[in-house]
Amino acid sequence: MCGITGWVSWQDDLTKQDKTLEAMNQTMACRGPDADGIWVRNHVALCHRRLSIIDLDGGKQPMASQAGDVVLTYSGEIYNFQELRTELSALGRNFRTRSDTEVVLHAYLQWGDAFVDRLNGMYAFAIWDQRQERLLLVRDRLGIKPLYYYPLDGGVVFGSEPKAILANPKVSAGIDLTGLSELLIFPGPRTTGEGIYRGMRELRPGHVFELTREGGIERRYWQLTSFLHTDTEQETIRTVRDYLEDITTRQLISDVPLCSLLSGGVDSSAMTALAAKNLRASTGQTLDSFAVDFVDSDKITSSSTPEDTWWSSLDAPFAREVANHVKCNHTPIVLSNDLLIEHEDIGLKTRDLPGWGDFDTSLYLLFKGVRERSTVALSGESADEVFGGYYYFQDPQALHHDGFPWLREGMAFADLLHDSHIAKIKPQEYAHQRYLETMAEVPRLEGETGTDARLREVFYMALTHWLPALLHRKDRASMAVGLEVRVPFCDHRLVEYVWNVPWHIKQMGGMEKGLLRHAVADALPESVAWRKKSGYPAARDDKYLKHVRAQLAALLERPTEPVFDLFDRAKVAGILDGTRPVPYIGTAPSPAHSMSYIVSFNKWIKNYGVDIHF
């Protein structure tokens, strides 16, 4: 995994922009600590920071074709690169390295723009084709790897993260009505494509952006398609298992230490079990696994907090049981409240936007601990979106809500704005318009009606809103420490197959993710295979919540903080005194997350010099 950035300008001589290019590339140093490179010509510059995973000695980037007229800066992993390399070699392509980077380059040279259809993996990259004076930006189908771009008059600036783009003096940290609406109405899953900063775009998953002297255009190269599922239950179970076996085998390829993230839920446990088996069979090695935990978490009983519907049981005992069952080396990364408080701003620093409080911090600290022993980790992320693990797939009220099901309880932080700002933003109308846009994209199945048709819509919302939000969080937290996290459940072949599986098979046995459970039950302890879903763990004792409450109280006491140009001070105070409900981010029903979001929002405005204009 790596970090990329670059600049195309038909009006500037970029060979004279050394300092700017170095500054842009330096922002990506955490994503690629092993090597760096800049390729520049008069009107184009491609920059790269490398995290070496495959072919440690080869694969230097940016990588140019033998003729020197096509150049690639690439971040990601192509899991079928060996098959593609064999096919390309048979077509006469000569390779100088063992890297998947060179496979991507030759695939473009051989097949042109259609090469993206052949890629299986997670990726975000830029190709400069001097023959056509054309830049091509490409992002993977599900949005595992990020890519942003900022159109300029006569060019574009792009990067893996907003900070790379903001390092260019032609770009300012401004925000308009749309960006503000996204932050305050959708603090959890935002609208894909919106870069939040004024003028900045996020390249949507499954899309490419093409820039020539005539201008730029974004277009889709992949989308889900709906058709009648004809496999029986047993055939479906077998197909899902076959996909998982193949995916896991492909994603074990690495020239550096690899591990698994094991929470003790069925998703991560399934990945760990299959990876441990396949790694032992292919190399004789024992898989390392890691999990996040908190000091004294075993003293918090299931009745200690009001959020027990989210955290149904402690993870640690189940993680240990799986580790013993599959014979892997398991290490819990145990966090204290003091450590969470010490690193509380890491979400803002990694996202370049207000974050999710200790959800971000704990994930970062988990990855920091993992990185001391491993460079690549397998994750169980995205199984909930693919197989239907969330409450709103089961709750009739949420399921049939005329809008995003996670917004039925209110407009999150938009309700805290000054009334005059609410009148401008019109939160209800904005959210409903975004909902209608999403509904217009849903790939319908002819003849499908009622609950089945609605569930298809809800699955589409989960895959296009919640999944990108969680992948975004995981990417920022992992790449901040130079850890590559792979997401096997995001293999597009599996997603395409499960997308068309009827709900009665997906929830077979009457349990969430029943299909997945049946597909992997033989590889897991029974207690884990049928364990009820429990959310990502968070700090749940009083000390952390008291700290966040104190921060918010101190913010309210300061008369000139910029956040109160937006938020009504009295409304925010109502959160502390209990006269107003705590806004719901959607990641978990914890007041600490929401309170810290307000504090982080203020720090973001100040630290990034954000110009808010709407």
Q: How confident is the model at residue 306 (pLDDT cuts 50, 70, 90)?
A: very low
Structure confidence at residue 156 (pLDDT):
98
Q: What is the DSSP letter of 136?
A: E
Q: Residues 294, 335: contact at Cβ < 8 Å?
A: yes
Percentage of the residues of the chain whose pLDDT score is greater than 70: 95
For residue 294, pLDDT over 80 is answered with yes
Tell me whether residue 2 is one of the annotated catalytic residues: yes
Q: What is the dihedral of CA 413, 418, 421, 425, to 10 degrees?
A: 30
Its pTM stands at: 0.96
Dihedral pair phi/psi, residue 561, rounded to 5°: -65, 135
Structure confidence at residue 300 (pLDDT):
59
Q: Residues 73, 48: contact at Cβ < 8 Å?
A: yes
Q: How confident is the model at residue 190 (pLDDT cuts 50, 70, 90)?
A: very high
70-78: strand order across its sheet: 63-64, 70-78, 121-129, 134-139, 207-212, 215-220
How far is it, in rounded angstroms, from Cα 544 to Cα 295? 12
Q: Which CATH superfamily is domain 233-529 in?
A: HUPs (3.40.50.620)
For residue 557, pLDDT over 60 is answered with yes
Q: How confident is the model at residue 305 (pLDDT cuts 50, 70, 90)?
A: very low
Structure confidence at residue 412 (pLDDT):
75
Quick: pLDDT tens for 27-61: 999 999 988 999 999 999 999 998 888 777 777 89
Structure confidence at residue 101 (pLDDT):
95
| pLDDT, the chain, mean | 93
Q: Residues 489, 261: contact at Cβ < 8 Å?
A: no
Q: Residues 587, 356: contact at Cβ < 8 Å?
A: yes
Structure confidence at residue 588 (pLDDT):
58
Quick: pLDDT tens for 436-465: 999 999 999 999 999 999 999 999 999 999
Mean pLDDT of 412-430: 93
Q: How many residues does the chain have?
A: 614
CA-to-CA separations, 546 to 10, 75, 335, 539, 596, in angstroms, rounded: 54, 41, 17, 11, 11
Structure confidence at residue 583 (pLDDT):
84
Q: How many beta carbons lie within 10 A of that of residue 194, not counting itself?
A: 18
Structure tokens at 244: 């998982």
Among the listed ranges 22-26, 177-181, 242-246, 591-595, which one has the minimum average pLDDT value?
A: 591-595
Structure tokens at 115: 């090469």
Structure confidence at residue 232 (pLDDT):
98
Structure confidence at residue 313 (pLDDT):
75
Structure confidence at residue 312 (pLDDT):
65
Burial class (CB in 10 A: 0-12, 13-18, 19+), 164: buried
How far is it, in rounded angstroms, from Cα 207 to Cα 361? 31
Structure confidence at residue 289 (pLDDT):
97
Q: Residues 215, 154: contact at Cβ < 8 Å?
A: no
Structure confidence at residue 546 (pLDDT):
92
For residue 191, pLDDT over 70 is answered with yes
Structure confidence at residue 540 (pLDDT):
64
**So where are the chain's domains?**
2-220, 233-529
Determine the residue type at 322. Answer: V
Higher pLDDT, 564 or 307: 564
Structure confidence at residue 301 (pLDDT):
46
How far is it, in rounded angstroms, from Cα 572 to Cα 452? 41
Structure confidence at residue 134 (pLDDT):
98
For residue 418, pLDDT over 60 is answered with yes
Determine the residue type at 194. Answer: E
CA-to-CA separations, 180 to 142, 151, 426, 540, in angstroms, rounded: 25, 20, 12, 30
Structure confidence at residue 520 (pLDDT):
98
Q: Residues 323, 287: contact at Cβ < 8 Å?
A: no
CA-to-CA separations, 543 to 106, 336, 340, 549, 557, in angstroms, rounded: 55, 10, 11, 10, 21
Q: Which helix (H) or strand (E) holds 377?
A: strand 376-378
For residue 311, pLDDT over 70 is answered with no
Asked whether the bond before 62 is cis by omega within 30 degrees of 0, the reply is: yes
How far is it, in rounded angstroms, from Cα 152 to Cα 149? 10
Mean pLDDT of 247-263: 94
Q: What is the DSSP string of 15-42?
A: GG-HHHHHHHHHTTTTT--SEEEEEEET
DSSP reduced 3-state for 405: helix
For residue 270, pLDDT over 90 is answered with yes
Q: Which CATH superfamily is domain 2-220 in?
A: Aminohydrolase, N-terminal nucleophile (Ntn) domain (3.60.20.10)
For residue 587, pLDDT over 60 is answered with no
Quick: pLDDT tens for 505-540: 999 999 999 999 999 999 999 999 999 887 777 666
Structure confidence at residue 304 (pLDDT):
41
Write a three-state SS string for 159-223: ECCHHHHHCCCCCCCEECHHHHHHHHHCCCCCCCCECCCCCCEECCCCEEEEEECCEEEEEECCC
